Amino acid sequence: MYSNYEIHLEDTRPISVSGDKVGQLKYVNEYFDKYHDAILKNIDKEVIINKRPKGMLNCGNKYIMPYITKLLASFGVDNILFSCQNSDTNDEKDLLARSENISTLSDVVTTVGADLGISLDNEMDKVVFIDELGDVVKDQTMISIFAKKSLKENPGNIVSSVVFSLALEEIVTQENGKLIKAPVNSILNKAVNSKAVFAGDEPGTYVFPQFQSCSDPIFATIMLIKIISENKPLSQLANEIPEYHRTGFTIKWEHENKSRVIQILKEKLEKKGNIDNTYGVRVDFEDSYVLARPSIFDPILKIYIETKDPSNLPILNREINEIISEIK
C-alpha cells in the first residue's frame, strides 16, 4: 500500500488589485525535498541500490532536469544524460513527439549498455521507456506491466480509457483485478472515484492514485526501475505481455455530425458483439474489438482495431470503412 503524497500550502498572502482583494497567493516550500521524501516512503531504495542500474535520460525541461538526475542518483541509478540541457525547449516541438530523438536514444541505450532509456516530455506528465535492447516499449504494454505489478501488491481496480488493449483485460483478469473503462482524458477522475490501484492511458500516461492523483512520469520511472531491479530486464517483462495485431486510422468528420456516425456504427454492429458506449462506441467480439471515438478538438473520428487473429484485421478494417462510406 502506497503512502499518499500531499503538498501542504504554506505562507498564504492576499493578492490585491487597485486596493480590492481578489484572492490569495499560496506558496509551496521545499516541494522537491518533500516529493523526494514521499518517494522514499513508497519505493524500497535498497533494492535499486543493490542492482545499481544504468539509466539513459532524455529530458528537455531545464527546471526539472537537475532534480530528476539528483533523484535517480540518490537511488543508486547511474545517470547518462542524452539531449538534456539547461535551456528552455518549450518553444520547440515536444521532445517526446520527436521520433528522431527517440530513435537516437534507442541507439545510445544499446551502445552504452544501459538497462533503461527514459524520455520525458517537456511538460513532465508523459514518458516513453526503452528497454535494454534499444526497443521502445509500447504504451499498452507498459500499462499492462504496471497493472500487473500493482495488482500483485494491492488487489483492486485498474483504470484505462476505452482504447485499452485486449492484453490488459487478460492481465487484469488473471491477477483477479477489475478493469474500469473511462472516457479518453478522464482516467484521473475515474481512478480517484473508483479508488484504483493504477491507471494508465496513451500516450505515456501512468497514474498511481494511492501515491498521487495525477500522471507522474517521475514516480513511474522510479517504480519501473524498482521492478526491473528486483525482477528481470524490461525486454523480458515486455515479452510476457501478449501483443496482438493492432491498427488505427482517422476519418475527417464535422464536429456536429460525429454523434450521428457513432449511433449508426452502434446500430450496424450491436448484433455482432458487446457494445460499450463509455466514449464513442466500442464493439468487443470474441477475439477482437473495434472502437470509433470522436476527437475532442479536431473534426475527425479515430478508429482503433485490435485482434488476436491477423486475418481479421483487413476484414474488420474493410467493414468499418464500408459502413462509414455508406453514411457519407
Mean pLDDT, the chain, as a whole number?
86
pLDDT at 222: 95
Residue 50 lies in a domain: yes
For the residues 147-154, what does the mean pLDDT come to?
Answer: 94
Quick one: 224 and 276 in the same domain? no
Residue 182 lies in a domain: yes
CA distance 118 to 83: 11
CATH of residue 43: 3.40.120.10
Locate 44 and state its grid cell.
524500497
State the helix-helix crossing angle for 217-230 and 139-153, rounded to 10 degrees. Answer: 70
Strand 178-182 vs strand 198-201: parallel, antiparallel, or unpaired? unpaired
Quick one: 104 and 79 in the same domain? yes
Question: Which among 313, 318, 293 has a CA at the least distance from the CA of 303?
Answer: 293
By mean pLDDT, which of 141-150, 152-161, 228-237, 248-257 is the weakest? 248-257
Picking from 239, 274, 292, the residue at the C-terminal end of a domain is 239
Picking from 205, 223, 239, the residue at the C-terminal end of a domain is 239
Quick one: 91 and 67 in the same domain? yes
pLDDT over threshold 90, residue 238:
yes
Residue 1 lies in a domain: no
Residue 10 lies in a domain: no
CATH of residue 286: 3.30.310.50
Confidence of residue 8 (pLDDT cuts 50, 70, 90): very low
Prediction pTM value: 0.86
Confidence of residue 11 (pLDDT cuts 50, 70, 90): very low
CA distance 328 to 323: 9
Quick one: 107 and 205 in the same domain? yes
Instruction: Please spell the DSSP secondary structure of 288-306, one letter per residue.
Output: EEEEEEE-SSSSEEEEEEE
Quick one: 93 and 199 in the same domain? yes
Residue 279 lies in a domain: yes
Number of domains in the chain: 2
Question: Which among 70, 55, 49 has a CA at the least distance from the CA of 109?
Answer: 55
CA distance 113 to 182: 39
Q: Which residues pair with 58 in a beta bridge?
A: 82, 119
Question: Which among 133, 132, 152, 130 has a CA at the least distance from the CA of 141?
Answer: 130
Q: Considering the chain, what percentage of its residues have pLDDT values greater than 90?
A: 59
Quick one: 97 and 183 in the same domain? yes
Quick one: 127 and 224 in the same domain? yes
CA distance 160 to 143: 9
Residue 16 lies in a domain: no
pLDDT over threshold 50, residue 9:
no
Quick one: 278 and 220 in the same domain? no
Q: H helices within the chain, ranges in order?
A: 31-42, 45-51, 65-74, 99-112, 139-153, 166-174, 187-193, 217-230, 234-239, 258-269, 312-327
Quick one: 223 and 278 in the same domain? no
- Which pLDDT tens digit goes with each residue over 293-322? 998 889 999 999 999 999 999 999 999 999
Quick one: 198 and 215 in the same domain? yes
- Which pLDDT tens digit goes with each residue over 62-119? 677 788 888 999 999 998 888 765 545 444 445 454 567 788 899 999 999 999 999 9
Q: Which residue has the higher pLDDT, 134 or 95?
A: 134
Quick one: 197 and 55 in the same domain? yes
Residue 47 lies in a domain: yes
pLDDT over threshold 70, residue 6:
no
- For residue 290, the enclosing domain spans 245-327
Highest mean pLDDT among 64-73, 120-129, 211-220 belongs to 211-220
CA distance 320 to 247: 13
Quick one: 261 and 276 in the same domain? yes
Picking from 239, 274, 294, the residue at the C-terminal end of a domain is 239
Residue 300 lies in a domain: yes
Residue 248: strand, helix, or coil? strand
- Which pLDDT tens digit goes with each residue over 240-298? 999 999 999 998 888 888 888 899 999 988 888 999 999 999 999 999 999 999 988 89
